Amino acid sequence: MNDIIINRLLGVGIALSNIKDEGQLYQIILESAMDIIACDGGTLYTIENDSLKFRVMITRSQNVKKGGDNGPIDLPNVPLRKENVCARCALERRVFKVDDVYKSHDGFDFSGPKKYDQMTGYHTQSMLVIPMEDDKGKIIGVMQFINAIGKNGFVGPFAQWHTNVVLSLASQTAICLTNHNYSRQLERTMDSMVSVMSTAIDALTPYNANHSRNMAKYAKKFIKWMNETGEGWSFTPEDERRFIMAVQLHDVGKLVTPLEVMNKETRLNGREVAIHNRFKYIAKIDEVDYLKKRISAEEYKSRKAQLEAGHQIIDTINKAGFLKDDMLKIIRDYAKNTYWDEEDEDFLDPQPWLTEEEVHLLSIQKGTLSAEEREIMENHVVMTAKLLGEMEFTDADQNIRNWASDHHELLNGSGYPNHKTGDDLDWNVRLLTILDVFDALTARDRPYKPPMPLEKAFAILDDMANKEGKIDPIILDLFKKSRAGEPDDDDEAAREAAREAEKDRLIC
């Protein structure tokens, strides 16, 4: 093997090690081999289900190039029968060299190439078929070369050095394919682990429902739309894989967030039962005090009315989405009331109708979480960063951790936990944040609230983008334009939920 050929082989080896796409890998291998040995045609097969699968087919003089990075070849697999020279090469791990297909007496069935010749006017003459083995000696494919072209430009038989070169290339190829398969396998393992984690996060609480799954669905539709229309920015399959992984992992910190905080439906979260019982008990004490003439009839009547109203008021405040100031005042006034249970030796002083903690919880102005509980809830994103910090990512996948950990940061710096601003937040995390808010508003699978109509959700998102400067207005407009957030035509359940939500909106 001369230096020129050795250098070309080394060059091919380096090129092969950098290729990620399987189809492209097959094409480069076959084309490089054909270049080095100078032949007109070639086919590369891999073994699949005990047959040979076409991966790349090239006939240069006829301008034929199928498979490789052009996608799969639409031809049936070749069964592993000994009459077929390629199949026999795979079965017997042997190189076969045929000088003239039409004069061969080796017992091979060359009806295939002959039929091809008849249909196309081509003339198949010489053939070299070599097996491809992996590092464990397992046959992983076959390369077939057609019509060696001599220095005089005419087709002639393949020489021994052709076999040596192609075998050397085949062993490099097998190593590359094995490595490629290992990395694909690792990727698939990683993807499936992330998918399992995502399912676990979603299943953790009905408050999550299908949150990550919904977001991934919107993301895929949106990316497809951008790639098809050329609007926005383009995603390669690798970019998309990384982004979807960030979506699936963005709330992984919820796995270590206390469920009683995540599932808290009301301010008191069950403590209201104790309050109702206490109010009934106080009413009894008051009745005794009145009968024993410790309190006047007016005072008894007033306290009784207050206690009776209290049941309803506590329930209303407990479940309200937002408390106006007058409601907060009612709670504070209630807290001033006291009772004295003389039967209870522990009570030396009058006791408040509502404990400090109950007043604190009932005074939550918005939502159901107290400041401390909100902090615990918001900490899920810190935990996302911590957990993903312990997870091994390849260099190319490092951004997954950042996108996932920054999904509650907002462009104007009002997000958490690090109050990052626009400059620190790339397009991917900006999109992730929009998908996160969009699903939180429109999800139709939460037990505690009906879905918000799309129109209303987009009005809120519009305000966040254009009035408050929290989210990216360009990405939001693209997302709206893509209609990726709308139910699929065949998703009748989603359409029905949307119709119901629309009805609610009209009634309200």
Least CB distance to Fe ion at residue 440 (A) = 7
Instruction: Tell me if residue 453 falls in helix, strand or coil.
Output: coil
Q: Which of residues 4-33 bind Fe ion (CB under 5 A)?
A: none
Q: Which of residues 236-265 bind Fe ion (CB under 5 A)?
A: 251
Among residues 40 and 406, whose Cβ is nearest to Fe ion?
406
Among residues 251 and 373, whose Cβ is nearest to Fe ion?
251
Q: Would you give the binding string for Fe ion spanning residues 151-180, x where CB under 5 A is met?
A: ------------------------------
Least CB distance to Fe ion at residue 318 (A) = 25
- Tell me the one-letter amino acid at 284: K
- Tell me the one-letter amino acid at 338: T
Among residues 242 and 408, whose Cβ is nearest to Fe ion?
408
Least CB distance to Fe ion at residue 44 (A) = 45
Q: Which residue has the tokens 């050329």?
A: 230
Among residues 251 and 286, whose Cβ is nearest to Fe ion?
251
Residues in binding contact with Fe ion, number by CB under 5 A? 2
Least CB distance to Fe ion at residue 408 (A) = 6
**Taking a C-beta distance cutoff of 8 angstroms, is the pair 98, 122 a contact?**
no
**Taking a C-beta distance cutoff of 8 angstroms, is the pair 277, 284 a contact?**
no
Among residues 163 and 399, whose Cβ is nearest to Fe ion?
399
Least CB distance to Fe ion at residue 251 (A) = 4
CA distance 156 to 55: 26
Among residues 272 and 406, whose Cβ is nearest to Fe ion?
406
Least CB distance to Fe ion at residue 254 (A) = 7
Among residues 38 and 391, whose Cβ is nearest to Fe ion?
391
CA distance 147 to 98: 10
> How far is C-alpha 123 from the geometric centre of its chain's CA atoms?
51
> How far is C-alpha 111 from the geometric centre of its chain's CA atoms?
49
Least CB distance to Fe ion at residue 310 (A) = 37
> How far is C-alpha 77 from the geometric centre of its chain's CA atoms?
34
Least CB distance to Fe ion at residue 225 (A) = 22
Does 473 sit behind a cis peptide bond, omega within 30 degrees of 0 on the bond before it?
no
357 exposed, middle or buried (CB, 10 Å; 0-12, 13-18, 19+)?
exposed
Among residues 57 and 201, whose Cβ is nearest to Fe ion?
201
**Taking a C-beta distance cutoff of 8 angstroms, is the pair 379, 257 a contact?**
yes
Q: Which of residues 279-298 bind Fe ion (CB under 5 A)?
A: none
Q: Which of residues 327-346 bind Fe ion (CB under 5 A)?
A: none
Among residues 31 and 436, whose Cβ is nearest to Fe ion?
436
Least CB distance to Fe ion at residue 488 (A) = 22
Least CB distance to Fe ion at residue 253 (A) = 8
CA Rg value for the chain = 36
In 3D, which of 210, 203, 225 has the Cα closest to residue 439?
210
Among residues 40 and 436, whose Cβ is nearest to Fe ion?
436
Q: Would you give the binding string for Fe ion spanning residues 113-152, x where CB under 5 A is met?
A: ----------------------------------------
In 3D, which of 96, 167, 152 has the Cα closest to residue 126?
96
Length of the chain: 508
- 473-482 vs 427-442: helix crossing angle, rounded to 10: 60
Q: Which of residues 434-453 bind Fe ion (CB under 5 A)?
A: 436
Among residues 295 and 383, whose Cβ is nearest to Fe ion?
383
Q: Which residue has the tokens 């462009």?
A: 411
CA distance 35 to 39: 7
Q: Would you give the binding string for Fe ion spanning residues 398-437, x where CB under 5 A is met?
A: --------------------------------------x-
Least CB distance to Fe ion at residue 250 (A) = 6
**Taking a C-beta distance cutoff of 8 angstroms, is the pair 37, 44 a contact?**
no
Helix (H) or strand (E) holding 227: helix 211-229
Strand-pairing partners, residue 351, are 339
The C-alpha torsion from 98 through 99 and 105 to 106, rounded to 10°, is -20
Contact residues: Fe ion, CB under 5 A: 251, 436
